[in-house]
Amino acid sequence: MTNNNGLGNLDDLFQSAHDDGLTDKTMNLVVSNLNGPTMATAVGAPLDQLASNDVTLAMNIIDMSGSMMPYASDLIHAYNEAYLEAMRGSSAAEDILVSTILFNNQVYLLHGYMPLLDTPPLTRSQYMPAGSTALYDAVAGGLTNMVLYAQQLRQSGVMVRCIVIVYSDGEDNASRQKARDIRRAAEELLKHEIYTLAYVGFRQGGIKQSEVQELANRIGFPEVLTAGLSHKELRRIFHLVSQSTVRVSQQGGVSSVIFAP
């Protein structure tokens, strides 16, 4: 089975994933999302254009539902400046590949995995909050293309670490995917120790830390942080994620706590 998204022969990737110990807990989720929007251009840079044979895949899955509208400009600036630009100034810049997904009631792949130095900024024409929250669909799609791309890299002799950060201000209310299926896959991926799964809960309207923790638990994401939606708080959280991503890349292994100060 071949495709046009840069991942090559999917049958080979599936066999390789099974050989590496991924079971139906993960692969069933992957199969159910093969035709989803995150697979259209999963790879933004082919293998022969990678600058390193030791890379960190950094995926951002960002809520774009209607409740995020008042904070759109601040989030865009925080993502571009406190995340992308901050990492570009690090010694790990050539080792980081970035992919970003936006979601409301639909899931949009902003771009597949691209070298950090070539990653385009987020713009107001792309980040236009509206609609409801298909968080589970977005996470399932993101895990699908990350699992397959990571497998392609490993097949080619590239060392890889994978970081997924979900940013959301509320509960899922629009997905076709089930939280339990994502959780099963997440729990298996975490056992392989190249994956870090983290959830940022934007607190508004009195939402409590315990409620954010419960939202993360539903999809099996163990690293949890809460943040406000002010300009200062958005910059803080995106900067913290950039520091953590650089640290994971420089350490040559997955940090047990990505949100360590």
Q: Strand, helix or coil at 149?
A: helix
- Domains identified in the chain, total number: 1
Name the DSSP letter for residue 125. T
Task: Answer yes or no: is 260 within a domain.
Answer: no
pLDDT score, position 139: 98
pLDDT score, position 2: 47
Task: Answer yes or no: is 257 within a domain.
Answer: no
**Which residues, 6 or more positions from 256, have their beta carbon under 8 angstroms from its beta carbon?**
none
**Alpha-carbon separation of residue 132 from 118, 202, 247, 258 (angstroms):** 31, 16, 34, 29
The angle formed by the CA atoms of residues 35, 36 and 42, to the nearest 5 degrees, is 95
pLDDT score, position 52: 84
Can you give the CATH number for the domain in which 114 is found? 3.40.50.410
Task: Answer yes or no: is 208 within a domain.
Answer: yes
Task: Answer yes or no: is 105 within a domain.
Answer: yes
Query: Which neighbouring-strand residues pair with 60?
Result: 100, 165
Could you read off the pLDDT of 94-142 as tens digits, one per residue? 999 999 999 999 999 999 999 999 999 999 999 999 999 999 999 999 9
Task: Answer yes or no: is 66 within a domain.
Answer: yes
Residue with tokens 């990505």: 258
pLDDT score, position 208: 80
Query: Do the beta carbons of residue 9 and residue 1 sit within 8 Å?
Result: yes
Q: How far apart are CA 243 and CA 90, in angstroms?
A: 9
Name the DSSP letter for residue 100. E
Angle between helices 135-155 and 179-191 (to 10 degrees): 30
Q: How far apart are CA 162 and CA 196, in angstroms?
A: 6
Q: What is the pTM of this model?
A: 0.94
**Which residues, 6 or more positions from 74, have their beta carbon under 8 angstroms from its beta carbon?**
229, 230, 231, 234, 235
Structure tokens at 178: 């089930």
Which residues of the chain register pLDDT less than 50?
A: 2, 255-256, 261
Task: Answer yes or no: is 188 within a domain.
Answer: yes
pLDDT score, position 209: 83
Domain region containing 66: 20-251
Task: Answer yes or no: is 1 within a domain.
Answer: no
Query: Which neighbouring-strand residues pair with 56?
Result: 96, 161
Q: How far apart are CA 31 and CA 114, in angstroms?
A: 24
Task: Answer yes or no: is 60 within a domain.
Answer: yes
**Alpha-carbon separation of residue 83 from 8, 37, 76, 196, 239 (angstroms):** 30, 24, 10, 17, 5
